[in-house]
Amino acid sequence: MTCPHRILTLFAVVALSVVPGLPPSAHAQKPLKMGAIVPVSGPAAAFGLGVQRGMEFAAEDIGVFTVAGEKYKLEVVTYDTVYDPGKTVAAMNRAVYNDGVKYGVIIGAGVHPPILPIIRETGFLDLAFAAAGRQITNGENPTVFRIMASSDQLYQTHLQPIIERLNVKRVATLGPNDELGKNDAKVVRVQVEAMKAKGVQLVAEEYYERGAKDFGPALLRLIAHKPDFIETDGSPTGSIALIAKQARELGFTGYFLNSTAVLEAKAISDIAGKAGDNIIALRIWAKPPTQLYAQLADRHQKKYGEAAPGTMWEAYAATKWVADVIQKTGTFDTKKVADALAQSTYPDHPFGPASWGGEKTYGAKRQIILPIPAAILKDGKWEPFDVRTGKFD
Amino acid sequence: MKTAALVLLLLALVALPPLAEPYMLHVAIVVLMNAVYAEALYVIMRMGYLSFGHAGYIAVGAYTSALLATKLGMSVWLGFLAGGTAAALLAWLLGMVTLKLRGIYFSLSVFAFAEVVNAVFRAFDFFGGPAGIAGVPRPMFFGVRLNTHLGFYYVVLGAAVISLGFLYRLAATRFGFTLLALRTRDTEGLAESVGIDAARYKTLAFVVSCFFCGLMGAIHGHYLRFVSPFVFTFFFSTDLVIFNMAGGLGSFWGPLAGSVLLTALGEQLFAAGYYKSLVYAVVLLVVILALPGGLIQLPRLREAWAARRLRWAKQPVATTER
Amino acid sequence: MSAVLEIRGITKQFGGLTALAGVDVTVGEGELVGLVGPNGAGKSTLFNIIAGAIPPTGGQVLLEGRNVTRLASHDRARHGIARTFQQVTLFGELTARDNVLQGLHRHVPSRVLAGLVGTPGYRAEQRELETRAERLLDLLGIGTHRDEVVSEQPLGIQKLVTVAVALATEPTVLLLDEPGAGLSHEESTRMMDLVSTVIRRRCTIVLVEHNMRIVSRYCDRAVVLHFGQKIYDGEPGGLTADQRVVDAYLGVAELA
Amino acid sequence: MEVYLPLLAQGLAIGVLTGILYVLVALGLTLIYGILHIVNFAHGEIYMLGAMAVLYLHVVAGLPLVPTLAVIVVLALLLGLAIERGIFRVLRGQWLQLVVASVGISLVIQSVGWIAFGIQEKSVPSYLPGIVDLFGIRLPRERLLAAGVAVVLVAALYWLVYRTRVGLAMRAIEEDEETARMLGVNANRVASLSVALGFVLAAVAGAFVAPVYSLNPGMGLEPILMSFLIIIVGGLGSITGTVLAGLLVGVIQSVGAILFGSEAAYGLVFVVMIAVLVARPAGLLGRV
């Protein structure tokens, strides 16, 4: 095969391979595609798995619905971002421009900056699962909603009450050295400074490589400052369990706080054993807050044989909420749906009645407001850790 | 005949895009970028040097251009060149040191360099730390900012045509030909004895390779409109090596074929990262074991097998490359 | 006859071992000098010092009167010193013609820009180089093998290609390291015939050889090294008569 | 922050213990490189398979620890022989193809791992829970166990390589293969054995380090990066070099973290690596 033919075959293969996906099979109702643009491999895979399964459960429960006289069924399409900004752009290009996806859940403050321009240009309705990142929910991004409690919200409402209740005086922070970790540390610093009068001070701040397994070096320096409270920002399950275990090994006896994690009591106690006690986790329910919450948990256990990752419930709720609003407004136009969504409330969210807020902090009503639980780990089980929570608007 | 086919292909690449969907333009952009990265790496792989750290030089290019554009408001076109030059400069500095090493020593030293580059970008706020640098602007073209896929496609196409043209012709020059003389420690001795300053040629080859990585890295950063230490990772470097090996190191067309086919294929496997790495790995192993010359050797498979059987008989179990 | 290559007081220490102790040799233009000595006498060490592969501990190497002792081997090659290696070393994956081309390229400016553009002048120059390479291979009688990859050729052919590559740099002094080694009797005779007739006309030759019959038959002069010292420098014919050479090296039976 | 003695002592102890774990993980890599000059990029994945084997055999299936280890050693041997025979031998002599093939193997095992073992983080309960308090320095028992195993394996490796006929054959092949072959050393069998043993060391390392950290299919990447660092700093192919470098890196990370913070310590380790590469390309004790 001489050289020129080789070039032509190359060109033909490229053209062929980008042919858009197969046309949707023409069964009774047309599919409404919703994207799960989440990490399904790599260190943050557990976050993505919960969202994917939560959305699929929601699609099953919603079943067939009508919009402007047409019958539709929700179809969840997963695009693996591997928590890498470059791959997230590729996923968005595929979803938005090829598969015609207009709605989706996207995980990770760190991967948002390169796709926000695409979201603004195409009006993609992004249900963001991103605790940090003030630049996500604001006036410039009308179609971006944060469907989980943000770091600002968590810490503004919970940090000071928890510190007071435990009578903590020396706070230290240890988080992943990425967008999430650095942002949470900033928010914590502000809250702790506000309690200077009560003698509370921030004594140490350390970071670790996301996905690292050995926290000895970071913990050594931290524990040297004799903290009685270690805030571990957005450390995932594997990390917080190892941090607890290794910190106890180094003689730390105080409390841990974790804000945005996907924590299962069993997973932590398997890894850390008794060392896992006294971990306080925000966004984790010790007792199911609603009937729906418990049903979803059992359904996941039956179907997958393992405990549900913590992101499942919020993804389930957001998907159903958006589907309801689309049905009510009778249009797929994301601008209209976004405006309607912002005004609407969602009483049967698995966490409890939910609405939108955040104008004061973010300048746009795009931050979900819902009951924020706190729980403390005792002998491998979560126990409620109710504190009088501060206000967030 | 060959030039006619090339001109035909170029015409298609220039004329067809306005009709294409934005997604196809996205894939074309990614394919063109990976083709330039693969061919840039090929310059030193053709010389027998395997690098697991080229993503580091791509990152240097991307960050240089992004910083110049966001912090100094410099014209993006100059940023592209600055990205290439910065990577080339770093390659020159480090090349003098690492190129004394051969074989796996060299591969691992370049890999270490890439890890340090990422660590530095993550550690210091000047580089935006772990959050990276957002709001990296697209270039302006007669007053219009090229924010559309089509607009930016032509920027990438232009850069790719220039880069690939240069790299293709480079192999035909005496400089390119001389690089073939430096494949192993022994041939390097022979090269020195016929008057080839091996160290200078190797460093120049490394600088050229890293220049084009930096140049396209800069363009890549402006395409994403964002640079972060989590984009150009170790796996990015291994992908480029896989493109080269799968395509075949025998000629310029090898890495081109490898990168075009695997990138286009990779774009289809969006559902899960591990499907893509599984397919890449299986293609790589099949090619290395069954097609000694890579995909472009397909037409001359029997010869390639015969050559390997002959070579295999004399080969030691312990590879001699220290 | 002006001196082409002068070696003045070259010494070389490897840690405690003295490989060369103050060797002086002068080679005139067009001479064919045999460097002789038992294994470990320092022949290859001297060779490598002249070629610039290893630096001497003391002494000087002069090429056409110019001191090249400090020059790296690639600079020395440009000034006219070419060599072959004891173990056959070639650009294994390239054809015979390409191997020779690598040598030829040293005397032509690389002109990268012209090459990139592929100007007619550059292409003509390239074709001319290729014909010169083919002529060089024909000269050594291996023209028919020019398009074959050298690693797949028998030793005899490979050895001739190594000589062709060295000759391609148009050297003033050619250092041949045991050209006949590993070859059958006819092959080594054919090689030496080539060396003493065709190649000799192109440059001065210093050849390392431990086979006395070859040195006596082909070389103008023989220089004998023994434990790093020069113990004989003169007509090959006189070798057997010189008592020191006999004691140090030959053992009478072998020479007869 | 006042840096006082007990903290430094604790840091040093943790550094040494972590360093020994690095040595345990890097041992298999050193053996294969030492004999065949192949850097096995799939080493991290074999380590992961060892850990997963403990999870599924010992924890899930309930097989006692010792039989589990026996099964792991046998499986690792077979996998090593298969990969050497099927992949490495075909590419004999071509170091570039060999290295890239091992990258391919690593990606295959990792991808299949994600599919087979699922995404959720898993764990293996500790064989020896609790800590030992030595003059105020707290040392986790499970790490001491892993360190003990490392010391045993290093000693066994020394004994094998320097005290047995097999070891002699291995060194012969590494030193001068042609002569070794002429003296009747079966190069192929030595190659197979070396790779198989390297895989066993990797899998056993995985089995003993599993309880210390948590498990997921991608757990092989971080140890492999650290092992590369160590065999380069220590000198490719030298067992003593690996041990020294492992301890050095462990101590630099922990003491470095106390003095400069853990992020800087991570960067510091790579800077040391490049410094060693530049000063002594062969590493502390390696031979080029």
Comparing CA positions, the residue from B65, B45, B158 lying closest to residue B106 is B45
DSSP lists the bridge partners of residue A129 as: A107
Side-chain half-sphere CA neighbours of B132 within 13 A? 29
D137-140 and A64-67 beta bridge pairing: unpaired
Over residues D173-182, mean pLDDT:
85
Mean pLDDT, range B254-269, rounded to an integer = 92
Residues 132-171 (A) with a CB less than 8 A from some CB of B: 135
Higher model confidence: residue A353 or residue A29?
A: A353
Residues A258 and A357 in one domain: no
Structure tokens at C246: 């006999």
Q: Are residues A256 and A275 in the same domain?
A: yes
**pLDDT score at A239:** 84
pLDDT (0 to 100) of residue A307: 83
pLDDT at A6: 55
Residue A391 has pLDDT above 90, yes or no: no
Answer whether residue A346 shows pLDDT above 60: yes
Contact criterion met (CB below 8 Å) for A108 and A129: yes
A110 touches A178 (CB < 8 A):
yes
Separation CA B308–CA D232 (nearest Å): 31
Q: pLDDT at position B253, please? A: 92
CB atoms within 10 A of CB C86: 13
Neighbour order of strands in the sheet with C17-28: C17-28, C3-14, C58-63, C66-67
Q: How far is residue B276's CA from residue B267's CA, in Å, rounded to a whole number?
A: 9
Mutate to test the interface with B, among C87, C112, C147 (most CBs of B within 10 A): C112
Mean pLDDT, chain D, rounded, equals 87
* ipTM field: 0.87
> Is A14 near chain B, with CB under 8 Å?
yes
| Residue A21 banded pLDDT, cuts 50, 70, 90 | very low
CB atoms within 10 A of CB C78: 15
B116 at interface of D, judged by CB pairs closer than 8 A: yes
For residues B65 and B192, the answer to whether their CB atoms sit within 8 Å is no
Look at the alpha carbons of D202, D205, D211, D212 in this order and tell me if their dihedral is positive or negative: negative
Task: Check CB contact of C103 with chain B, cutoff 8 Å.
Answer: yes
SS3 for A124? coil
For chain A, which chains pass the contact test of at least 3 CB pairs under 8 Å? B, D
Nearest to B187 among C53, C89, C168 (CB): C89
pLDDT bin (cut points 50, 70, 90) of residue D216 is confident
Q: Give a three-class secondary structure readout of chain C.
A: CCEEEEEEEEEEEECCEEEEEEEEEEEECCCEEEEECCCCCCHHHHHHHHHCCCCCCEEEEEECCEECCCCCHHHHHHHCEEECCCCCCCCCCCEHHHHHHHHHHHHCCCCHHHHHHCCHHHHHHHHHHHHHHHHHHHHCCCHHHCCCEHHHCCHHHHHHHHHHHHHHCCCCEEEEECCCCCCCHHHHHHHHHHHHHHHHHHCEEEEECCCHHHHHHHCCEEEEEECCEEEEEECHHHHCCCHHHHHHHHCHHHHC
Does A218 share its domain with A245? Answer: yes
CA distances from A241 to A83, A215, A270, A280, C3 (A): 21, 11, 9, 12, 82
The average confidence (pLDDT) of chain B is 89
**Among partner residues C82, C93, C118, which is closest to B169 by beta-carbon distance?**
C118
Do A269 and A357 reside in the same domain of the chain?
A: no
Q: Distance of CA B221 to CAs B138, B174, C178, Å?
A: 9, 34, 58
Question: What integer pLDDT is reported at residue A355 of this predicted model?
Answer: 92
The whole-number pLDDT of residue D2 equals 55
Tell me what pLDDT residue B290 has. 87
Which residue, among D183, D188, D90, has the nearest Cα to B317 in the 3D structure? D188
User: Which helix (H) or strand (E) covers residue A174, if one does?
Assistant: strand A170-176
Q: In which domain, by residue range, is A182 found?
A: 152-282
Least trusted range by pLDDT, from A157-171, C229-243, D105-119: C229-243
Domain ranges of chain B: 20-232, 234-314
Give D92-106 pLDDT, tens digit per residue.
888 889 999 999 999
What Cα–Cα distance (Å) separates residue B160 from each residue in A75, A349, C169? 38, 51, 38
Say how far apart CA A63 and CA A327 lie, in whole Å: 12
Buried b (16+ CB within 10 A) or exposed e, B225-241: bbbbbbbbbbbbbbbbb
Please choose, from the candidates A190, A163, A168, A146, the residue with its C-alpha nearest in 3D space to the C-alpha of residue A367. Answer: A146
pLDDT at A14 > cutoff 60? no
- Give the per-residue pLDDT at A13: 52
Residues 6+ apart with CB under 8 A from B144: B151
Q: What is the CATH classification number for the domain harbouring A234? A: 3.40.50.2300
Q: Which two tokens stand for residue C65?
A: 């009167």
Distance CA C63, CA C7 (A): 9
What distance lies between CA A172 and its chain's CA centroid? 24
| Contact residues, B window 29-48, toward D, CB-based 8 Å cutoff | 45, 48
State residue A8's pLDDT score. 53
Return all residues near C7 (Cβ < 8 A) that are at least 6 apart. Answer: C23, C24, C25, C26, C46, C50, C59, C60, C61, C62
Note whether residue A386 is domain-resident: no
- Phi, psi at C227, each rounded to 5°: 50, 45
Q: Are B1 and A4 an interchain contact pair (Cβ–Cβ within 8 Å)?
A: yes
Per the CB < 8 Å rule, is B316 touching D263?
A: no
Q: Distance of alpha carbon A8 from its chain centroid, rounded?
A: 46
With 90 as the cut, is the pLDDT of residue D247 above it?
yes
Nearest to D222 among A211, A242, A250 (CB): A211
pLDDT digits (tens, 9 = 90+) for C132-142: 999 999 988 88
Q: What is the mean pLDDT of residues C27-49?
A: 86
DSSP designation for A93:
I
Does residue A157 sit in the same domain as residue A239? Answer: yes
In angstroms, rounded to a whole number, what is the distance separating the alpha carbons of residues D124 and B317?
38
As a whole number of angstroms, the distance between CA B148 and CA A271 comes to 49
- Position D280 scores a pLDDT of 76
- Report how far residue D81's alpha carbon sits from residue D85's, in angstroms, rounded to the nearest whole number: 6
Question: With left for phi above 0 and alpha for psi between -120 and 50, is residue A48 left, alpha or beta?
Answer: alpha
Interface contact flag, B177 C77, Cβ < 8 Å: no
* One domain for residues A135 and A160: no
Chain B partners within 8 Å of C77 (Cβ): 192-195
Side-chain half-sphere CA neighbours of A361 within 13 A: 25
Q: Any bridge partners for residue B140, and if so which?
A: B145
Average pLDDT rounded to a whole number, residues D29-35: 89
In the numeric block, which tokens belong to residue C243?
A: 């008592």
> How many angstroms separate the Cα of C28 from the Cα of each of A44, B7, B292, C206?
77, 59, 51, 10
Strand-strand pairing, A374-378 and B140-141: unpaired
Chain B contacts in chain A segment 48-107 (CB below 8 A): 78-80, 82-87, 89-91, 93-94, 97-98
Q: Check D104 against B320: CB less than 8 A apart.
A: no
Question: Residue A37's pLDDT band (boundaries 50, 70, 90)?
Answer: very high
Amino acid at A234: G
Regarding the domain delimited by D5-279, which CATH topology (the fold level of the hierarchy) does it fall under?
ABC transporter involved in vitamin B12 uptake, BtuC (1.10.3470)
In chain D, whose CA is at the least distance from the CA of B109? D274
Residue C255 confidence (pLDDT): 40
